[in-house]
A and B are shown apart, each in its own frame.
Chain A
Amino acid sequence: MSAALTIFIKECRESLRDKRVLLNALVLGPLLGPLLFVVILRVTVGRELNQADRPLPVIVIGAQRAPNLMQVLKQQGLVPLPPVADVEAAVRQQRIDLALRISDTYSDDWNAGRPAQVDIIYDSSRRDGGGRLQRLRGMLASYSRRTSAMRLVARGISPVIGTAVLIGDRDQATAAARGALLFAMLPYFLILTSFMGGMWLAIDATAGERERQSLEPLLANPVPRSQILLGKLLAAAAFSFTSLTLGLMAFAVAAHFLPAQQLEISLTLGPKLIGTILPIMVPLY
């Protein structure tokens, strides 16, 4: 039996008896990536989807100046809240995240057919508010469009005249392709997994060997140092490889727990893909 093989077997056996190495290389490493992936995605997607159907509570200042608008907004799920003092400061201090202000001149402008101003007060640095801000903006824009169209009709002009160019969105992305976008972060997880898998053994087999003072007796054996290095390298690579394989399998399982239908994407990580990924990762072991 060659010396490198002897060293390989011994390093693997020793590491398999080390709970810390086992936990990191074969449990935490492979599971961490997929778990993070699923949890993060579920939380984000879940929040966005939930908000779409929920009532949208917004602080409204000067609601009495635009009863029509308020009625339409309420029909679409907006729940007007009573105004607070100094709404800008309240948003800045993050006490509230969204407010709508109907300007003092709203009714005058409305009646005169001039653009009537409403302000949305928000803080773009807050991540939570994004979806709700878009909903409010959408409601206001559609109200504006509808009213403009009715005004044109009242003056005997076809509302179509206001639309010089009609833009159509024709997204050709398939569900699988959208899924691929999501998998863009996969390589980083895989690199991390394979690194974590071999790292503990590599530390133990090099610095650890020296620290435990077993390097000197080892080097007194009639074995070229290259063989010793090769054996240790192979052992670290074997652990990397195992960790990566387990990680990929965990990802394949995790893909089933993703809210893929709600996102209209498809995520599949079959044996064929795994078979392709493993050899690609070889230089990293």
Chain B
Amino acid sequence: MIEAHSLYKAFGPKVAVSDVSFCARDGQITGLLGANGAGKTTTLRMLYTLLKPDRGSIRVDGMDSTQQALAVRRQLGVLPDARGLYKRLSARENIAYFAQLHGLNTATIRDRTEQLAKALEMGDIIDRRVEGFSQGERVKTAIARALVHDPRNVVLDEPSNGLDVMSTRSLREFLRRLKTEGRCVLFSTHIMQEVAALCDRIVIIASGRVVADGTPENLQELAQERSLEEAFVKIIGAAALDSLS
């Protein structure tokens, strides 16, 4: 479970996140929806302890992210916005490297890698060097690397970025599987269909603040619109007007 309370983060005069609170529960997929530059990546970076919030607090499975940063990182599987792999290492070695940094032993690493390779359908690429991988293969490797330590909480920053239709479908399948395993899945996106297809709960961020939070049905009711996209546009539009006045 991931809880964020009144997060605030500024880079110099630029306020990236001004007021973000939400709760992502276990066994649910939570979508962080927002336009480009709304503050999604900054919020996630604070969640996985890369950035310290200027104000507010984050609790992951009850642990404070600033005081117990290492423990929090152990509970999180993170697919960051920047998902660079080591191109001179094979997919397996990339995964094993992070697994060792998590302190797993060799046997566990082997088992987990086999499981993930099977779940992500990467059997034929697992022992190839990452150099020359397609975008989809790279995302698969990065996801496997992020989940090798079997984390309770999974945070993904725009996971479907740059993926084709088929890869996106299998990614969604995989996220649903994580959900049924009882994990807390939190991902950010700016793509409407994605949240509509996947999420149990949607948190909409505009200009660094949460403007709506609820189930897809809630949000449609809230905006009194039939489609989620219309609801999103209406909610974002209202927020923009608010910030003007």
Contact = CB atoms under 8 A, between A and B. Distances in A.
The answer to whether A and B come from one shared complex is yes
B9 to A, nearest CB: 16
Given A1-B100, A213-B82, A219 B50 contact: yes
Interface in B7-29: none
A33 to B, nearest CB: 28
Contact of A216 (B74, B82, B102): B82
Given A13-B89, A222-B71, A217 B97 contact: no
B86 A220 contact: no
Contacts of B100: 1, 3, 6
A72 to B, nearest CB: 73
A115 interface: no
Given A6-B101, A14-B86, A217 B80 contact: yes
B141 to A, nearest CB: 11
Given A14-B86, A214-B85, A220 B80 contact: yes
A177 interface: no
Of B100, B102, B103, B145, most buried by chain A (CB within 10 Å of CB) is B100
Contact of B82 (A7, A10, A217, A224): A217
Interface in A1-26: 1, 3, 6-7, 10, 13-14, 17-18
A253 B126 CA distance: 45
B84 A217 contact: yes
B73 interface: yes
A283 B132 CA distance: 40
A223 interface: yes
A218 B45 CA distance: 13
A236 to B, nearest CB: 17
B83 A213 contact: yes
A134 interface: no
A17 B76 CA distance: 31
Given A6-B100, A213-B82, A220 B73 contact: yes
A212 interface: yes
B88 A220 contact: no
B89 A14 contact: yes
Nearest to B146: A217
Interface residues of B, number: 31
Contacts of B76: 220
B121 to A, nearest CB: 22
Contact of B102 (A13, A213, A222): A222
Given A219-B50, A221-B98, A14 B88 contact: yes
Contacts of B87: 212
B142 interface: yes
A216 B81 contact: yes
B88 A18 contact: yes
A216 B78 CA distance: 10
Nearest to B105: A1
Given A14-B89, A220-B76, A214 B70 contact: no
Contacts of B74: 222
Nearest to A5: B100
A219 B103 CA distance: 15
A220 B70 contact: no
Interface string B32-52: 000000000000010011100
A218 B71 CA distance: 15
A219 B72 CA distance: 13
A52 to B, nearest CB: 55
Contacts of B142: 217
A153 to B, nearest CB: 85
Nearest to A217: B80
B148 to A, nearest CB: 11
Contact of B50 (A13, A216, A224): A216
A217 B88 contact: no
Of A6, A13, A18, most buried by chain B (CB within 10 Å of CB) is A6
25 contacts: A3-B101, A10-B89, A14-B88, A209-B84, A212-B84, A212-B86, A212-B87, A213-B83, A214-B84, A214-B86, A215-B82, A216-B45, A216-B82, A217-B82, A217-B146, A219-B50, A220-B49, A220-B76, A220-B78, A220-B80, A221-B102, A222-B70, A222-B74, A222-B103, A223-B101
Given A14-B88, A214-B82, 12 more contacts: A3-B103, A10-B86, A13-B89, A14-B86, A213-B82, A213-B83, A215-B82, A216-B45, A216-B80, A222-B71, A222-B103, A224-B70
Interface of A: 1, 3, 6-7, 10, 13-14, 17-18, 209, 212-224
Interface of B: 45, 48-50, 70-71, 73-74, 76, 78-89, 93, 97-98, 100-103, 142, 145-146
